[in-house]
Structure 1
Amino acid sequence: MKTNIYFVRHAESNYVPKDDDFYRPLSEKGKNDVKRVTDFFKDLNITRVLSSPYIRAVHTVEGVSKDKNLDMEIIEDFKERKVANRYLNDEEFRNFVKHQWNDFDYCLEGGESLNQVQERGIRALNKIIRKYHNENIIVGTHGTWLGVILNYFDEKYDYNFWKTIKMPDIVLLSFENENLKFIKQIEV
């Protein structure tokens, strides 16, 4: 028996500098892409829908939750990493991201390192695998979070891979017990 976890990186959202990242809504394109995500899962036997608490992640997978008549479970540790206590302009953010992917311990004041994000993510993932073993699960989450989780299992998932993660994107991880059997990126 195996546990299949479909990680769904959220659809495109409206980014407004200095807005609260938690409440960032989906863009019109993102809202349209939610239908594609929902349609992809229509014929699959999904038993659980989990999500980061961030609104853009919740809204990306809620169509599946409604279609399958499943309650959505919010998992705090599936949230995106905190960057800093201050706003970064585009250039600062690009430099910050490169630095983080080169040094998983690097973080700004009030922010999280990629090692911290990876540790909380793997801890939460292992709890889910033990709690819901032999199920087909969807997890609504974020690009950096997804990137560092994949990197935990295989270092080929690095900064260059992270730059290719789409909005939305789906990556399947299949486990036997707690042992990863394969990773498959899925086109939607």
Structure 2
Amino acid sequence: MQKKIYIVRHCAAQGQPSESPLTEQGLIQAKQLGDFLIHAKIERIISSPFLRAIQSVEPVSKRTTCHIEIDERLSERILSKLDLSDWYEKLRATFDDMELTFEGGESSQEAMNRIVNVVEEVLESGAKETVIVSHGNIISLLLKHYNPDFNFECWKKLSNPDVFLLTYEESEVHLNRVWIEKDV
């Protein structure tokens, strides 16, 4: 049986804290995301608990009548509890060294394991088409799990929102970017 998982990066947000809402542009993008997924036969929606992720799929939830399941494992990866002035370079380093950690943070491998576990549980469930909405860094680690060539440069090219389709059939996983950026 074929299964499809739409991996969604949240729409444009007002900030990085978990309570940051979508911007005005992000709310328009969320509607576009709903339009984009209108023909999918979505049976489940699983979201990060962060407000910007939830708001990104609310239009999809309303159209499909699927309630949004919250899963803490889809929270953005914490690079460090410290305010790192060179966070960009430190993030780059974690793509090369999957075990590298900074004070109060988690390694790329730990974060990857979290999101891969969610995907594996979805694949084992009865749902044929699922939406998972999360954040750029942890999604990039999921993409790296299925495509080891996905690196820091690929992460930099992600958009808000962004959508990848993971198709699973006969023990094979195929992953493709399906989002086409729209002018808002």
Shorter chain as denominator, the TM-score bin is over 0.9
**1:69 Cα deviation after fit:** 0.9
What secondary structure sits across from 1:22 in the alignment? Answer: coil
Structure 1 residue 132: Cα displacement: 3.2
Q: Does 1:181 align with 2:173?
A: yes
Q: Of 103, 110, 123, which aligns to 1:129? A: 123
Q: Taking structure 1 as the reference length, what is the TM-score of the superposition?
A: 0.90
| Alignment deviations for residues 94-144 of structure 1 (CA, whole Å, 9 cap, x no partner) | 1111111121111111111100001111122111211235x1101111111
Alignment-derived partner of residue 109 in structure 1: 103
The whole-number CA distance in structure 2 between the counterparts of 1:119 and 1:167 is 23
Query: In the superposition, relative to structure 1, how do residues 141 and 132 fare at CA in structure 2: closer, same or farther (>3 Å)?
Result: farther
CA distance in 1, matches of 2:179, 2:112: 25
The RMSD of aligned alpha carbons is 1.4
Give yes or no for contact 1:173–1:180 (8 Å, CA) kept in 2.
Answer: no
Residues 5 and 130 in structure 2, CA contact (< 8 A), matched pair in contact too = yes
SS at match of 2:133: strand
SS of 2:60 mapped into structure 1: helix
- Partner of 1:171, secondary structure, is strand
TM-score of the superposition, structure 2-length normalised?
Answer: 0.92
Q: What is the aligned-residue identity percentage?
A: 27
8 Å contact 2:45–2:61 — kept in the other structure?
yes
Aligned residue for 2:84?
88
Task: Give the C-alpha shift of residue 24 in structure 1.
Answer: 1.4
Q: How does 1:1-188 map to 2 (within 5 A)?
A: 1-15=1-15, 21-89=17-85, 92-133=86-127, 135-176=128-169, 179-188=171-180
- Relative distance call for 1:187 and 1:124 in structure 2 (3 A) is closer
Q: What is the SS of the residue equivalent to 2:100? A: coil
* Residues in 1 aligned to 2:113 and 2:40: alpha-carbon distance in whole angstroms: 30
Residue 153 of structure 1 and its aligned partner are, at CA, apart by 1.2
> How many angstroms apart in 2 are the aligned matches of 1:2 and 1:75?
24
| Contact 2:79–2:91, Cα closer than 8 Å, also in 1 | no
Determine the C-alpha separation between the residues in 2 that align with 1:11 and 1:87: 24
